[in-house]
Amino acid sequence: MLAEDAMVAKKSSGFQPVFSITPAIALDLMRIEAVKAAIVALPIAPRVIADLRETARLFSTHYSTMIEGNRLTQEQVAIVIAEDRHFPGRDRDEGEVKGYYAALDEVERLASRREAISEAAIKKLHGLVMRGGGKRARLTAYRDGQNVIRDSRSKEIVYLPPEAKDVPNLMEQLVFWVNREDQLPAPLKAGVAHCQFATIHPYYDGNGRTARLLTTLILHRGGYDLKGLYALEEYYARDLKGYYEALSAGPSHNYYLGRAKADITAWVAYFMRGMAESFEKVEAQARREAERGGRDQSKLLRTLDARQRRVLTLFEGAQEVAAKEIGGLLRLKPRGAALLCRSWVDAGFLQIANPANKSRRYRLADAYEAIVEPLH
């Protein structure tokens, strides 16, 4: 027990963020809380929530990858995700958006499990980001050498992260802080974690995308998912210069010459302002949709993966659908569609309406029928 206490003391004495809660930051916190309460009270139709959530996920994917230089337009991102269509010369860009979209699915899964955030979870998110969203994405190892961040035009050093030998300990301290810090509101904790992850820069590539995913995970875990309707990435992308300037704290670009213990108040202020603006934008949109009414099914929707949410649209116009229709929507071959439907029956998402092999049809399981608004 004494050894365990010593280990806890060692970790807790590691990462200690330095920032002040200014009047502007406090005001933004109140704005965020007001919107959070308002969204919970709005009677938004489940189908509308599903549509808004999917739009937000596509926005997040587009803007987060665009920040890193992805060349696909917002419309092309939606086509790549929904139709798996290819654009000539854009293989890498397509892989990036598929990876980020898959990582958002993983964020929702992790948030729903209510477990402590782990380094393994972060490595899985990074693996999805870097491997094009493949289901077998492995846990990625931290970098094993020095990474130098340079200005793309002048080639001058913008940031010199900590040495590779220090990364594992710094990441351990960050994750420990995220899980043990219970005094700060979740928005502040998420903003600090974003900044510290970018400061550690634990990978050669994909650090920005993974930092933004970690931010989203912390917010969802802290009750600030806002039904999954917002996309903070759009705020960052609108002013990339401001985003990077806010992250650049301290008197030197060298981690060991001031960046490690720099005051990050400017970043926290930037982050909180962006979160408040994003939340208020969602509230305005949600209020426009609230007249449709309907019982909130956002918790149930969160249990579905991206393909299941898309398939819900088929049931808006029919009580029963065939595997062929599901395959057509998801661009699957007949055998793949049949196997997927079988697995969804086993998982309790679908039920067999007509068991005949040649005319087999499926309907939503009872628990999910309330999500859609059939037009038949």
Q: Is the domain of 204 the same as that of 321?
A: no
Q: Is the domain of 166 the same as that of 315?
A: no
High-pLDDT (> 70) share of the chain, %: 90
Question: Where does 56-98 show beta strands of DSSP type E?
Answer: none
Q: Is the domain of 320 the same as that of 208?
A: no
Q: Over the range 107-133, which residues count as b (16 or more CB within 10 Å of their CB) and which as e?
A: bbebbeeeeebebebbbbbbbbbbbbb
User: Is the pLDDT score of 28 beyond 50?
Assistant: yes
Instruction: Residue 310: give the domain boundaries.
Output: 304-369
Listed in sequence order, the residues at least 6 apart from 111 whose beta carbon sits closer than 8 Å to its beta carbon are 217, 220, 221, 225, 302
pLDDT band at residue 138 using 50, 70 and 90 as cut-offs: confident
Of 237 and 169, the one with more pLDDT: 169
Of 7 and 184, the one with more pLDDT: 184
Question: What's the CATH code of the domain at 164?
Answer: 1.10.3290.10
pLDDT in the model for residue 178:
97
Burial class (CB in 10 A: 0-12, 13-18, 19+), 346: exposed
- Cα–Cα distance measured from residue 95 to residue 188, given in angstroms and rounded to the nearest whole number: 32
- Cα–Cα distance measured from residue 295 to residue 290, given in angstroms and rounded to the nearest whole number: 11
Q: For residue 341, is it within any domain?
A: yes
User: Is the pLDDT score of 13 beyond 60?
Assistant: no
pLDDT in the model for residue 47:
66
- Cα–Cα distance measured from residue 218 to residue 175, given in angstroms and rounded to the nearest whole number: 11
Q: Is the domain of 254 the same as that of 339?
A: no
Lowest mean pLDDT among 31-45, 65-79, 340-354: 31-45
pLDDT band at residue 134 using 50, 70 and 90 as cut-offs: low
Output the CA angle 262-119-269, nearest 5 degrees: 35
Q: Is the domain of 188 the same as that of 214?
A: yes
pLDDT band at residue 200 using 50, 70 and 90 as cut-offs: very high
Most confident of 121-135, 196-210, 299-313: 196-210
Across the range 174-194, mean pLDDT stands at 96
High-pLDDT (> 90) share of the chain, %: 49
Q: Is the domain of 94 the same as that of 115?
A: yes
Listed in sequence order, the residues at least 6 apart from 106 whose beta carbon sits closer than 8 Å to its beta carbon are 124, 125, 128
Q: Is the domain of 286 the same as that of 335?
A: no
User: Is the pLDDT score of 6 beyond 50?
Assistant: no
Picking from 238, 268, 292, the residue at the C-terminal end of a domain is 292
Q: Is the domain of 280 the same as that of 325?
A: no
The whole-chain average pLDDT of the chain stands at: 86
User: Is the pLDDT score of 81 beyond 50?
Assistant: yes
- Contact at 8 Å (CB) between 209 and 197? no
Question: What's the CATH code of the domain at 362?
Answer: 1.10.10.10
259-299 pLDDT, tens per residue? 888 999 999 999 999 999 999 988 888 887 766 554 556 66
Q: Is the domain of 241 the same as that of 271?
A: yes
- Our count of domains for the chain comes to 2
Q: Is the domain of 184 the same as that of 282?
A: yes
Identity of the amino acid at 356: A
Across the range 83-107, mean pLDDT stands at 90
Nearest to 218 by CA among 249, 248, 177, 246: 177
Q: Is the domain of 288 the same as that of 312?
A: no
Q: Phi and psi (nearest 5°) for 371?
A: -70, -40
Q: Is the domain of 284 the same as that of 311?
A: no
pLDDT in the model for residue 207:
95
pLDDT in the model for residue 1:
41
Q: Phi and psi (nearest 5°) for 364?
A: -65, 145
361-370 pLDDT, tens per residue? 898 988 787 6
Picking from 260, 292, 324, the residue at the C-terminal end of a domain is 292
Its pTM surpasses 0.85:
no
pLDDT in the model for residue 293:
52
User: Is the pLDDT score of 303 beyond 70?
Assistant: yes
Across the range 132-156, mean pLDDT stands at 82
Three-state secondary structure call for residue 291: helix
Q: Phi and psi (nearest 5°) for 158?
A: -95, -40
Q: For residue 376, is it within any domain?
A: no
